């Protein structure tokens, strides 16, 4: 039963794509009903698979060809079942939204064919049980995305950025191909299950050049994940593809742009034996998260702002993998995919409504955000600084202690707690600055909401941890692999704690004294904002590099008389 269902889930969109293509001339725009119906059936079948996985069904494999072979295998395990439901669920929403949204666009039937093919490719990717299948669909997703982003064939900008996306994806494909070749040379099989068993039995194997196999493979897989998930220096394709059809922007969060987190989780048995690579993964994710969040604030286009927001969130997802919180990264990519997909599908309605009336009520929150007026009544600044630092920390510690008492023995968990602590402190400080007659009541409500969110987040993330990696020893190995020397870690934790606490105290003191911006500081901030608004000039650098490359190619053509 499970083996048949594993095959049915990705095959159903393929059948839908074929029927949509064949009947588009006969049914016209009514052909969308076939695609939407197939997407609904696919979602229900994927939900059944997830239910079986939650019920404790053991991991199984099936082949698309129906016969035993070295490729074309699909894997049923908790990660595949969970991701299949997410992909099919978001795909169903995008299908339903596209029925009316794409009605006035040319290539209506072609769009639904591509949508079905993309859904099938994503479903095969999350369930791929061998390297060949994974490589084929990994490459195919980039090609299909190119055609979806270039749906409007009359738009030069859409074509340009679709091509840039395809080029970036091809760069990211090369490391994964090399990693697959090294793994096949080492173990003589394409099966992921057999490869992971071989690595577990002998993690000290070496490559052709005497380099450690696990370290090299993990580095290559991380590079491929960076390109797919728009990490720093490989991110420029993401914000500019937001100009494509809105349903495509939403679908990108169903396993395309966040596929990097999935890929690292799929190869968790490789990363568990390499610590240095995880440290670099953490660093890249951290820088991407900060840069993406900063760039998001300087955008005046809603979809481009959402694109940079996605970049920042993908940085957080990769950073979570870097600290060993692999299952938390899966939870993050799912929650972000559902949330951001909804935002993209709502973006058009928001823009249309804002053109008529901004609809923003002139209440206390609006007055604070727009007019920047300080609160009428304020508690003593030193008391509020203490509450800002202490209360979020206490809530976070108690919440995580309730679900796992050994949580604080893991270095990666402490790092994540720091981010939660700073976020909670920012929330309390923003509340402190708001204009309200009863600041104590408002702060109490904010802290209560923060407590509920933290408790829900911790419980769900712990449930993901147990579901995806039921072996507690393996979970401990992942966190241990991401750890650093204990003495250095304690020193860094203590130093950062002092810096954060001093920063908040200084912030409250400056708020009490009133903000005074000197002319030289204003100039610095103006230049900094200009740099952010120009996206750190990376676009100009890449454009100049491409022009010089083309110019060099033309000169070589003339010199060698190739043209």
Instruction: Give the range among 12-16, 90-94, 297-301, 411-415 with minimum mean pLDDT.
Output: 411-415
Same domain? For 546 and 509 the reply is no
Q: What is the mean pLDDT of residues 172-185?
A: 92
Residue 60 in contact with residue 74, Cβ under 8 Å?
A: no
Q: Of the residues 317, 332, 359, which one is the last residue of a structural domain?
A: 359
pLDDT at position 439, please? 64
Sequence-distant (6+) residues with CB within 8 A of 137 are: 121, 122, 124, 125, 128
pLDDT in tens, 45-104: 999 999 998 888 888 888 876 555 567 889 888 999 999 999 999 999 999 998 888 887
Decide if 162 is inside a domain.
no
Same domain? For 334 and 410 the reply is no
Q: How many CB atoms lie within 10 A of CB 338?
A: 16
pLDDT at position 400, please? 65
Highest mean pLDDT pick, 104-118, 344-358, 422-436: 104-118
pLDDT in tens, 311-329: 888 988 898 888 888 888 8
Residue 91 in contact with residue 251, Cβ under 8 Å?
A: yes
Residue 227 has pLDDT above 80, yes or no: yes
Sequence-distant (6+) residues with CB within 8 A of 174 are: 224
Q: What is the mean pLDDT of residues 105-129?
A: 90
Same domain? For 498 and 524 the reply is no
Decide if 446 is inside a domain.
yes
Same domain? For 319 and 253 the reply is yes
Same domain? For 63 and 38 the reply is yes
Q: What is the mean pLDDT of residues 428-448?
A: 67
The token pair that represents 360 in the structure block? 């923003």
- Backbone Cα Rg of the chain: 25
Q: Between these two residues, 165 and 534, which has the higher pLDDT value?
A: 165
Eight-state DSSP code of residue 74: E
pLDDT band at 151 (very low <50, low <70, confident <90, very high): confident
Same domain? For 391 and 309 the reply is no
- Distance from C-alpha of 186 to C-alpha of 6, rounded to nearest angstrom: 29
Q: What is the mean pLDDT of residues 124-145?
A: 92
Same domain? For 383 and 313 the reply is no
Residue 190 has pLDDT above 70, yes or no: yes
Q: What is the mean pLDDT of residues 155-173?
A: 84
pLDDT at position 438, please? 64
Instruction: Give the range among 166-170, 303-307, 357-361 with minimum mean pLDDT.
Output: 357-361
Q: What is the mean pLDDT of residues 462-486?
A: 83
Q: How many CB atoms lie within 10 A of CB 156?
A: 9
pLDDT at position 267, please? 94
Q: Of the residues 312, 333, 359, which one is the last residue of a structural domain?
A: 359
pLDDT band at 496 (very low <50, low <70, confident <90, very high): confident
Q: What is the mean pLDDT of residues 480-508?
A: 78
Same domain? For 558 and 441 the reply is no
Q: What is the 3-state secondary structure (H, E, C) of 8-71?
A: HHHHHHHHHHHHHHHHHHHHHHHHHHHHHHHHHHHHHHHHHHHHHHHCCCCCEEEECCCCCCCC
Same domain? For 524 and 488 the reply is no
Average pLDDT, the chain: 81
Decide if 152 is inside a domain.
no
pLDDT at position 404, please? 66
Decide if 140 is inside a domain.
no
- Distance from C-alpha of 497 to C-alpha of 179, rounded to nearest angstrom: 39
Residue with tokens 């707690």: 417
Same domain? For 296 and 445 the reply is no
Domain count, the chain: 4
- Specify burial of residue 205 (Cβ count, 10 A radius: 0-12, 13-18, 19+): middle
pLDDT at position 454, please? 74
Provide the residue range defining the domain that includes 405: 374-516
pLDDT at position 365, please? 47
Same domain? For 346 and 382 the reply is no
Decide if 285 is inside a domain.
yes
Q: What is the mean pLDDT of residues 194-205?
A: 89
CA atoms within 13 Å, Cβ hemisphere of 406: 5
Same domain? For 353 and 267 the reply is yes
Angstrom CA distances, 245 to 117, 151, 451, stand at 17, 8, 38
Residue 308 in contact with residue 292, Cβ under 8 Å?
A: yes
pLDDT at position 375, please? 47
Query: Where are the extended beta strands (E) located within 178-223?
Result: none
- 274: closest CA among 218, 333, 232, 230? 218
């Amino acid at each position: 039963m499970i083996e048949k269902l594993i095959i049915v889930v990705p095959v159903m969109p393929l059948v839908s794509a074929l029927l949509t293509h064949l009947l588009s001339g006969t049914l016209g725009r009514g052909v969308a009903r076939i695609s939407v119906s197939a997407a609904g059936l696919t979602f229900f079948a994927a939900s059944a698979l997830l239910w079986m996985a939650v019920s404790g069904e053991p991991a199984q494999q099936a082949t698309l060809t129906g016969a035993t072979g070295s490729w074309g295998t699909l894997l049923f395990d908790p990660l595949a079942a969970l991701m299949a439901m997410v992909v099919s669920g978001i795909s169903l929403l995008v299908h339903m939204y596209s029925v009316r949204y794409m009605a006035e666009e040319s290539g209506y039937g072609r769009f639904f064919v591509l949508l079905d093919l993309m859904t099938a490719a994503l479903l095969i990717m999350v369930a791929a049980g061998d390297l060949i299948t994974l490589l084929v669909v990994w490459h195919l997703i980039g090609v299909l995305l190119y055609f979806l982003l270039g749906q409007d064939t009359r738009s030069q900008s859409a074509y340009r950025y679709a091509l840039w996306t395809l080029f970036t994806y091809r760069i990211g494909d090369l490391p994964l191909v090399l990693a697959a070749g090294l793994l096949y040379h080492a173990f003589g099989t394409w099966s992921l299950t057999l490869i992971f068993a071989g690595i577990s039995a002998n993690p000290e194997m070496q490559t052709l050049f005497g380099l450690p196999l696990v370290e090299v493979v993990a580095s290559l897989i991380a590079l491929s994940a960076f390109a797919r998930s728009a990490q720093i220096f490989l991110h420029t394709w993401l914000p500019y593809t937001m100009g494509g059809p809105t349903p495509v922007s939403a679908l990108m969060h169903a396993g395309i742009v966040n596929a990097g987190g999935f890929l690292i989780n799929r190869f968790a048995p490789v990363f568990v034996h390499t610590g240095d690579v995880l440290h670099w993964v953490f660093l890249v994710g951290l820088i991407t998260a900060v840069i993406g969040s900063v760039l998001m604030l300087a955008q005046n286009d809603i979809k481009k702002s959402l694109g940079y927001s996605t970049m920042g969130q993908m940085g957080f997802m990769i950073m979570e993998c870097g600290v060993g919180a692999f299952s938390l990264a899966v939870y993050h990519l799912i929650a972000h995919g559902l949330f951001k997909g909804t935002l993209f599908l709502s973006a058009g309605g928001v823009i249309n409504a804002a053109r008529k009336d901004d609809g923003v009520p002139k209440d206390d929150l609006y007055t604070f955000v727009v007019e920047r007026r300080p609160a009428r009544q304020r508690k003593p600044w030193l008391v509020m600084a203490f509450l800002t630092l202490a209360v979020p920390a206490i809530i976070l510690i108690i919440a995580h202690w309730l679900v796992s008492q050994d949580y604080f023995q893991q270095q990666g968990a402490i790092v994540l707690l720091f981010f939660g602590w700073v976020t909670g402190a920012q929330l309390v400080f923003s509340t402190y600055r708001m204009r309200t007659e009863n600041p104590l009541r408002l702060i109490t409500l904010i802290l209560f909401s923060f407590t509920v969110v933290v408790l829900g987040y911790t419980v769900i993330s712990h449930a993901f941890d147990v579901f995806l990696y039921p072996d507690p020893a393996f979970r401990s190995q992942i966190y241990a692999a991401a750890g650093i020397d204990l003495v250095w870690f304690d020193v860094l934790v203590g130093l950062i704690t002092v810096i954060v606490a001093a920063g908040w105290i200084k912030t409250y003191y400056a708020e009490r004294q009133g903000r005074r911006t000197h002319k030289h500081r204003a100039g610095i901030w103006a230049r900094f904002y200009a740099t952010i608004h120009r996206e750190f000039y990376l676009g100009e650098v890449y454009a100049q590099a491409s022009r010089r490359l083309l110019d060099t190619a033309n000169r070589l053509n003339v010199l060698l008389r190739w043209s």
